[in-house]
Structure formats: structure tokens, C-alpha cells
């Protein structure tokens, strides 16, 4: 069960309509911000990226999917590929998507998440063997007593749910969303080579610190 969200439960189909499946040659998640803009982790950048929106089951065509290619890649200027600080990038699509029940943007936050907010992280966990159905995990917001901040660096926040594999994601969920109260609060940056080891951190890029750059760039 490596390379996937651990302890997640299947999403109600299209309950995460902003979720983007990024593939060829990498496999990552992304988040739709506008009809022609997607945000993801900068370390997912590669040539010839393809995106699929309106996706739920990777092994079935359900009629809601929309395929796009990338016209322009804009990594955050201070992204550090060694430390993964400031791990976010914007992707301009080759053409806008058609908004629907299955494809809808996730709003940017007006403020950072508060202690006690309940958040969701979702993804397929697809690095080598695709996990068929989209899954989601509930998480307490950044700073909640049930979680522990194990390290903070400029550009990233490292969170840990000690000994609780239900709150772990794996590297296959890189670039996917951490949504809180209907807004995008985090982008999965990096987790573990093998998932759900007790006492090991998962890392999110805290989106509220980058809202001005995102808006100015799109």
C-alpha cells in the first residue's frame, strides 16, 4: 500500500471537483484555481505534462473527464529544488476547462487556517501503481493540539500526527490539496518514500503566504 494516501476513505464522486490528476511522465495532484489555471507542487514540474480534470475513477471513463495540456509553467521564483522550500507552481492550461458539477475551482484563502479547523487532503497516490478511486483524509488544521509542528522553514510547514497512519499521505499525493472551510490552505509538498511510518512528517506548502503572488501571476 505504498505510494498512496493511507487510511483514507473513498470520496463521494465529484465532491472534490477542483482535484486535478497530473501525469506523463510524473504523477502528481493539482488544484484548479480558475478555468485555465492550476496550482501544484513545483517539484512535479516536467516536460509534456498532461492534466485530467473531472476525474474520480482512474480506470473508468465516466464522461466527466476533461483532458488538457500545459501552455505555460511558472514555478515560484524562490523555489528551492534541494530543500523543497516554496514548493509551488502555476500551470496555465492550453485552453480553459468547461466548469461543471465535476470541474470547479477551489477558492484561495483570505486568511490562514485557524487552530481547530477541519481540513481534507485528497488524492489517488499514483506514482507507479494507480490507486483507482479518489480518496480523502480529514485533518485538523495547522497548529491544532492533536497535531504537532515538528519543524517550520520559510515557505513550508511540517506537520505530524505522531503514530497515527490515518493522517499520512505518501509522495504519490504530491501537489494535491489541503482544503479547509472551502478554501485552499495547503499543497502537499512531500511525505515518505514508504507511507505511514509513525513519527515521520508530512509537509504542506502553506498557501496563505503566497496568495498575492498567485493573484498577480494569473
Active site residue 170: no
Beta-carbon contacts of residue 216 (< 8 Å; ≥ 6 apart): none
- Where residue 205 falls (left for φ over 0; alpha for ψ -120 to 50; beta otherwise) is beta
From 43, 122, 157, 179, active-site residue? 43
Residue that has been written with the C-alpha cell 488524492 in this structure: 123
Active site residue 87: yes
Active site residue 43: yes
From 122, 174, 179, 189, active-site residue? 174
Alpha carbons 218 and 148: distance in angstroms, whole number: 34
From 87, 157, 170, 189, active-site residue? 87
Active site residues: 43, 87, 174
Amino acid at each position: 500500500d505504498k505510494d498512496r494516501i493511507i487510511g483514507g476513505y473513498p470520496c463521494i464522486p465529484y465532491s472534490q471537483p477542483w482535484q486535478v490528476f497530473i501525469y506523463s511522465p510524473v504523477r502528481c495532484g493539482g488544484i484548479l484555481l480558475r478555468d485555465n489555471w492550476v496550482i501544484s507542487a513545483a517539484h512535479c514540474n516536467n516536460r509534456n505534462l498532461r492534466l485530467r480534470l473531472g476525474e474520480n475513477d482512474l480506470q473508468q471513463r465516466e464522461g466527466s473527464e476533461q483532458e488538457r495540456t500545459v501552455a505555460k509553467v511558472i514555478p515560484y521564483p524562490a523555489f528551492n529544488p534541494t530543500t523543497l522550500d516554496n514548493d509551488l507552481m502555476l500551470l496555465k492550461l492550453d485552453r480553459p476547462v468547461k466548469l461543471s458539477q465535476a470541474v470547479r475551482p477551489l477558492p484561495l484563502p483570505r486568511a490562514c487556517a485557524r487552530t481547530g479547523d477541519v481540513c481534507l487532503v485528497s488524492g489517488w497516490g499514483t506514482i507507479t501503481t494507480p490507486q483507482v478511486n479518489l480518496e480523502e483524509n480529514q485533518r485538523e488544521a495547522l497548529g491544532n493540539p492533536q497535531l504537532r509542528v515538528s519543524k517550520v522553514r520559510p515557505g513550508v510547514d511540517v506537520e505530524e500526527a505522531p503514530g497515527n497512519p490515518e493522517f499520512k499521505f505518501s509522495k504519490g499525493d504530491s501537489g494535491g490539496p489541503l482544503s479547509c472551510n472551502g478554501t485552499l490552505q495547503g499543497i502537499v509538498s512531500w511525505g515518505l518514500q514508504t507511507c505511514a511510518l509513525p513519527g515521520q512528517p508530512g509537509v504542506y506548502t502553506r498557501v496563505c503566504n503566497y496568495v498575492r503572488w498567485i493573484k498577480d501571476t494569473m
